[in-house]
């Protein structure tokens, strides 16, 4: 038994009904919120990277993080005292269709840590072997997708985007067969396990499965459990509190999507099983970052035709997903009208958040509907009309001089600070420059209404427009190195992305637009779900 210990208080597994069958056979699990299952033993756990902050939050010393025991525990080879490992039962709508039982097919929960501040953090291993919910798949994960989840979820925290977190990334020493392009070409890849952390991993799909099956007692139990543990400020569960809770889930979800739109994040698979009840970004699969601002872009090759989960669709898809959650909750109410009315508020919650977010991005003190609506609409059209790097454009927009002599300055001089944002210089035509020039003139006049000087405005803009994001090709560079047993870039990016809003002039090379070689390379522009 290890001398190292964490304080576990496993409410989910203690308070909710367990699957009485403890065999690890793939099956439909009814009447239970979870199934107890042990992680699979692996041959050679090896730490690739860990998050310093997450370790600190949990009260795990850096020394222990570097130990072989840490790698063993977070690869799933041994359980610490107090851990109670299980896979959750949930269902979900995938690409708009009810898919029945899904569940943690390759995630194994370890339990809930109570840290020194009495905060509760559920820990979960992703890729630690099959569970009753693995259907036809292997329960494993490969290094490339695990590294992408590990780095991106930690980067999102520092960007201020609600998200699940990651404690560690460990190689298992096993090889995993994957058909990366779904073209019948199986390759052996390095197996890996990420330890994720979140206050709760409950998803919309956890509620849907019980509602769909008519297991209404468990549905109510799970709702009450969620409210008591995660939304206790709303009061003791009652029909009125259920409504308030659904309203809060709508607000949290809207807020999460507003943040995605702010930083140019595309989730890629917004199925209802991938929607956290806490409004956290969850399940990093074929996600991506907008490089050139293209609202129709989706990183997910499986979605290339329908583009259901494109950047621009995310707000509406979140609404659709909330509608599915709302439907799942109908049996808890005598009258579904009230639920519908709450759901109808979502577009307003999103729009209010979006207006404030856009005003912040543009450096306005507040959103003035009569002027700013049209100004923002025109900007978004301009951004999409030629290949313009979203991150660089907004970051450089802060450099526009509010005191410029508008009747003397040429369009070219006015737009000079933005020149690095363009992928194809030949697209920057006279017509384009004129259109952007007009916009910039209107923008400067709008800034003058706020009567703030350049320095104050720039400082504020630089807190919402990141300089560094995990560009798709950067993640791929870290993967290429890690697959060759060099983990330096993973750790460099982890450090870099800890301060995405800081200038970090020594890292300028990571703030530039996607190089041309990465334009069409797999992993750098689009991804399949294979992971
Ligand atoms: P995802 O598209 O990653 O959200 O996964 C959808 C469902 O498939 C979830 O129930 C996952 O747990 C499950 N799943 C995905 N990949 C695997 C895998 N390699 N082995 C077992 N189950 C998986
Ligand atoms: Mg998922």
What's the confidence (pLDDT) of residue 522? 84
Cβ of 303 closer than 6 Å to ligand 1, yes or no, is no
Report how far ligand 1's centroid is from the alpha carbon of 134 (Å). 7
Kindly state if the Cβ of 162 falls inside 6 Å of ligand 1. no
Q: Which residues surround ligand 2, an ion (CB under 5 A)?
A: 274, 283
Q: How far does residue 285's CA lie from ligand 2's centre (Å)?
A: 8
Dihedrals phi, psi of 8, to nearest 5 degrees = -95, 140
**Element holding 190 (H helix, E strand):** strand 187-198
Please say whether the beta carbons of 71 and 48 come within 8 A.
no
Residue 15: both structure tokens together: 């308070």
Residue whose CA is at the smallest distance from ligand 1 atom 14: 105
Structure confidence at residue 3 (pLDDT): 76
Question: Alpha carbon of 440 to those of 132, 383, 393: distances in Å?
Answer: 57, 13, 12
Q: Is 324 in contact with 93 (CB distance < 8 Å)?
A: yes
Is 192 a pocket residue for ligand 1 (Cβ < 6 Å)?
no
pLDDT of residue 1: 53
Ligand 1 atom with the shortest distance to the CA of 131: 21
* Phi/psi-derived region of residue 424, left when phi > 0, alpha when psi is between -120 and 50, beta in every other case: beta
Using the CB atoms, write b or e for 70-87: b if 16+ within 10 Å: bbbbbbbbeebebbbbbb
Give me ligand 2 centre to Cα 273, in Å: 6
Q: What is the 3-state secondary structure (H, E, C) of 423-477?
A: CCHHHCCHHHHHHHHHHHHHHHHHHHHHCCCHHHHHHHHCCCCCCCCCCHHHHHH
In the reported structure, the alpha carbon of residue 103 is separated from the centroid of ligand 1 by a whole-number distance in angstroms of 8
Q: Is 94 in the pocket of ligand 1 (CB under 6 A)?
A: no
**Ligand number with the minimum distance to the CA of 91:** 1
pLDDT at position 491: 98
Tell me the two tokens of residue 499: 């301060």
Which residues are part of the catalytic machinery? 273
Give the dihedral of Cα atoms 156, 157, 161, 164; nearest 10 deg. Answer: 90
Distance in angstroms (rounded) separating the CA atoms of residues 350 and 371: 20
Q: Is 106 in the pocket of ligand 1 (CB under 6 A)?
A: yes
Of 137, 143, 281, the one to substitute when testing ligand 1's pocket (max ligand atoms within 8 A of C-beta) is 137
d(CA 374, ligand 2 centre) in Å: 38
If you take atom 6 of ligand 1, which residue's CA is the nearest one?
Answer: 102
Average pLDDT, whole number, for the chain?
A: 97
Q: Is 134 in the pocket of ligand 1 (CB under 6 A)?
A: yes
177: helix, coil or strand? strand
What's the burial of 405, exposed, middle or buried (CB within 10 Å: 0-12/13-18/19+)? Answer: exposed
Partner residues linked to 178 by β-bridges: 187
Query: In this predicted model, what pLDDT tens digit does every residue of 330-374 receive, in sequence order?
Result: 999 998 999 999 999 999 999 999 999 999 999 999 999 999 999
Low-confidence ranges of the chain (pLDDT < 70): 1-2
Residue 530: the pLDDT is 87
Closest ligand (CA of 102): 1
The pLDDT score that the predictor gives to residue 526 is 83
Residue 300 CB–ligand 1 contact under 6 Å: no
Rg (CA), the chain: 24
Backbone angles phi, psi at 191, to 5 degrees: -80, 145
Q: What is the 3-state secondary structure (H, E, C) of 289-335?
A: ECCECCCCCCCEHHHCCCCCCCCCCHHHHHHHHHHHHHHHHHHHCCC
Q: What is the pLDDT of residue 36?
A: 98
102 ligand 1 Cβ < 6 A: yes
Residue 267, SS3 per DSSP: coil
What distance in Å separates the CA atoms of residue 238 and residue 244, rounded to the nearest whole number?
10
Q: Whose CA is nearest to atom 20 of ligand 1?
A: 139
Pairing relationship of beta strands 34-36 and 120-126 according to DSSP bridges:
unpaired
Q: Which ligand is nearest to the CA of 127?
A: 1
Q: Residue 296: what pLDDT?
A: 97
pLDDT digits over 57-87, tens only? Answer: 999 999 999 999 999 999 999 999 999 999 9
Which ligand 1 atom is at minimum distance from the Cα of 138?
Answer: 20
The model scores a pTM over 0.85: yes
Task: Decide: 35 and 132 in contact? Cβ < 8 Å.
Answer: yes
């Amino acid at each position: 038994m290890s001398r190292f210990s964490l304080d576990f208080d496993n409410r989910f597994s203690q308070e909710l009904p367990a699957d009485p069958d403890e065999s690890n056979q793939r099956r439909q699990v009814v009447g239970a919120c979870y199934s107890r299952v042990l992680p699979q033993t692996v041959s050679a756990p090896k730490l690739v990277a860990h998050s310093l902050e997450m370790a600190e939050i949990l009260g795990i010393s850096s020394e222990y993080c570097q130990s072989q025991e840490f790698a063993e525990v977070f690869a799933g080879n041994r359980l610490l005292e107090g851990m109670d490992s299980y896979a959750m039962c949930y269902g979900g709508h995938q690409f708009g269709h009810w898919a029945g039982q899904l569940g943690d097919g390759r995630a194994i929960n370890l339990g809930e840590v109570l840290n020194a501040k009495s905060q509760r953090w559920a820990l979960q291993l992703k890729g630690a072997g099959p569970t009753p919910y693995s259907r036809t798949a292997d329960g494993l994960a490969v290094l490339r997708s695990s590294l992408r989840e590990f780095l991106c979820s930690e980067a999102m925290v520092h960007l201020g985007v609600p998200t699940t977190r990651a404690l560690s990334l460990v190689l298992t020493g096993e090889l995993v067969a994957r058909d990366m392009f779904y073209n019948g070409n199986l390759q052996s890849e390095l197996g890996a396990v990420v330890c994720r952390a979140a206050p709760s991993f409950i998803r919309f799909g956890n509620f849907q499965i019980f509602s769909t099956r008519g297991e209404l007692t468990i549905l109510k139990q799970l709702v009450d459990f969620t409210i008591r543990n995660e939304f206790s400020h709303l009061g003791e569960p009652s029909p009125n509190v259920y409504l308030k809770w659904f309203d809060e889930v709508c607000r949290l979800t809207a807020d999460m999507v507003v943040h995605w739109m702010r930083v140019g994040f595309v989730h890629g698979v917004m199925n209802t099983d991938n929607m956290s009840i806490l409004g956290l970004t969850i399940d990093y699969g074929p996600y991506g970052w907008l490089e050139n601002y293209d609202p129709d872009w989706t990183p997910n090759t499986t979605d290339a035709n329908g583009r259901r989960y494109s950047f621009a669709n995310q707000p509406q898809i979140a609404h659709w997903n909330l509608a599915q959650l709302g439907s799942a909750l109908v049996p808890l109410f005598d009258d579904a009208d009230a639920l519908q009315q709450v759901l109808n508020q979502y577009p307003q919650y999103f729009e209010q958040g979006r207006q404030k977010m856009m005003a912040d991005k543009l450096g306005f003190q507040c959103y003035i509907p009569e002027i700013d609506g049209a100004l923002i609409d025109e900007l978004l059209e301009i951004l999409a009309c030629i290949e313009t790097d979203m991150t660089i454009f907004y970051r450089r927009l802060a450099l526009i001089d509010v005191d410029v002599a508008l009747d003397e300055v040429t369009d070219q001089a006015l737009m000079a600070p933005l020149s690095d944002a363009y992928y194809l210089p030949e697209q920057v035509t006279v017509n384009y420059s004129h259109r952007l020039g007009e916009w910039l003139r209107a923008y400067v006049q709008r800034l003058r209404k706020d009567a703030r000087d350049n320095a104050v405005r720039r400082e504020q803009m630089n807190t919402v427009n990141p300089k560094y994001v995990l560009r798709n090709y950067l993640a791929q560079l870290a993967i290429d190195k890690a697959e060759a047993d060099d983990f330096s870039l993973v750790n460099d990016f982890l450090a870099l992305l800890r301060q995405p809003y800081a200038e970090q002039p020594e890292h300028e090379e990571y703030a530039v637009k996607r190089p041309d070689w990465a334009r069409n390379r797999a992993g750098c522009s689009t991804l399949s779900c294979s992971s």
